[in-house]
Amino acid sequence: MSTVPNRESYRIFQFFFPAMVLFSLYLAYLLANPFLHAIIMGIVFAVLSWPIQKKMLRLTKGKWKRIPATLLTMLIILICVILPFTVFIVRLIPQALVSLTAISEWLAGFDLNAFLDSQTVHNFFSLIKEYLPFIDPETDDISTALLEATRTASQYLLKGATTVVSNALTFALHFALVLLVMFFMLLDGEAMLARFMYLFPLKEVQKDAIVDRLRAVAKAVLVGGVLVALLQGFVGAVGMAIVGMPVLFCGALMALASFVPVLGTGLVWIPVAVWLFINGMTWQGVFVLVWCGAIVTTIDSVMRPLFMSNQAGLSTFFLFMSILGGLKAFGMLGIFYGPLILGFVVVMLSLYAKEYQGFLSNRSSGLKNGGQDPPAIAPPPVTTAETAAASAVETAAAPVAPAAPNAPVAPVEPATPTA
């Protein structure tokens, strides 16, 4: 009985192994899915902290120098980043709860009808009718919509405050997992990355291009975006402190809102200005409009393209669309995931263009010729010298015909001696 497998069984085994590999990867995804965002953010933070890790590796010596170098890197990050952030959050939470409760109570007790009947609102409606006659702001639909908006905002704020308090423990656990992933990525990240890239059937140049592009995008989005957000939050908090608003709460909201495309910090300072005008604090409202509209928005317009577009090498328009799509698909983390996915798509398209450059060039030439294939290139003419040289080579390489076996051999006459 023959033990040699036939072609059908070979095909079965050929597809069985890749199927088992894909199934094992799916099982691994199920295990990591509950903590997938924490794992990704830990890897990104480790990549951004790698310059510090390299300096610590130069300072430490010995066979096991990676462990103390990683511990020193984590200690620096703990003192410079995590500790100030924790102190800020601890001081922010009580002020945020008080502010959210006060806003919710104000919205619940706000008499919209009395506000709409005030002389100030009537004067504002008259200006709208004069310059925008196709809009009638005194209709019942607008009043009903405003009343429903205040109720919805009040309920949303109460729900948001409850969610923040109830999810504080979950956030702390995920943050601890981010630090754990970051520690092991700094410790063995190089070996893990080398092993991971070894499994990809790509050229080394292509692998390096993918890693470099993702690193540049992550640095531009996180470092640039966070720096712009912190600066906008700080400047906005200074303006809010001048008019007597809660400093930490308003500054934190403006820092978070700065990640939202187009609207940005306007989601915070425009409602604050409106609230100030409604409560009769006119100069405070004007100050907020001028301060935030002239200074805070200028920071976003000047520094964000400088950090994100130039360093990441991505178009501002596509970067904006990727952030919008990321927010829709992944929530707040989409601010980071959207540009990362866009950077990966861009680098893969550029690698595809380089790998199939000849095919794409010929294809484009065919399209220019009306959809036909490009004309064949005629070989160069052969000169007389080349023809003679080729004939000589053929003559030298031709086999010599053997002599017939019974052919008579002519006798050789002896040479006649000369005197």
As a whole number, mean pLDDT of residues 144-169 equals 61
Using CA atoms, how far residue 380 sits from 62, 205, 295, 405, in Å, is 66, 36, 69, 48
Confidence of residue 27 (pLDDT cuts 50, 70, 90): very high
Whether 235 shows a pLDDT value over 80: the answer reads yes
Angstrom distance (rounded) from CA 408 to CA 405: 9
Whether 340 shows a pLDDT value over 80: the answer reads yes
Model pLDDT, residue 130: 67
Model pLDDT, residue 23: 92
Q: Is 322 exposed, middle or buried (0-12, 13-18, 19+ CB in 10 A)?
A: buried
Q: Which range has the worst mean pLDDT, 149-153, 233-237, 367-371, 384-388?
A: 384-388
Angstrom distance (rounded) from CA 84 to CA 104: 30
Number of domains in the chain: 1
282, part of any domain: yes
267, part of any domain: yes
User: What is the separation of C-alpha 191 from the centre of its chain, rounded to a whole number of angstroms?
Assistant: 24
Who has greater pLDDT, 264 or 62?
A: 264
As a whole number, mean pLDDT of residues 393-408 equals 46
372, part of any domain: no
**15-19, 117-121, 371-375: range with highest mean pLDDT:** 15-19
Angstrom distance (rounded) from CA 59 to CA 76: 14
Would you say 124 and 116 are in contact if contact means Cβ atoms under 8 Å apart?
no
Cβ contacts of residue 154 below 8 Å, gap of 6+?
103, 104, 107, 108
Domain span holding position 236: 204-314
What's the pTM value of the predicted model, to 2 decimals? Answer: 0.63
Give the type of residue at 286: V
Helix (H, G, I), strand (E, B) or coil at 306: helix
234, part of any domain: yes
Helix (H, G, I), strand (E, B) or coil at 110: coil
280, part of any domain: yes
Would you say 223 and 307 are in contact if contact means Cβ atoms under 8 Å apart?
yes
Whether 376 shows a pLDDT value over 60: the answer reads no
243, part of any domain: yes
The two tokens of residue 63 are: 């066979």
The two tokens of residue 394 are: 């053929």
Q: Which range has the worst mean pLDDT, 44-53, 77-86, 356-365, 369-378?
A: 369-378
Residue-averaged pLDDT of the chain? 74
246, part of any domain: yes
User: What is the separation of C-alpha 116 from the centre of its chain, rounded to a whole number of angstroms?
Assistant: 45
Whether 290 shows a pLDDT value over 60: the answer reads yes
305, part of any domain: yes
Whether 168 shows a pLDDT value over 60: the answer reads yes
Angstrom distance (rounded) from CA 83 to CA 88: 9
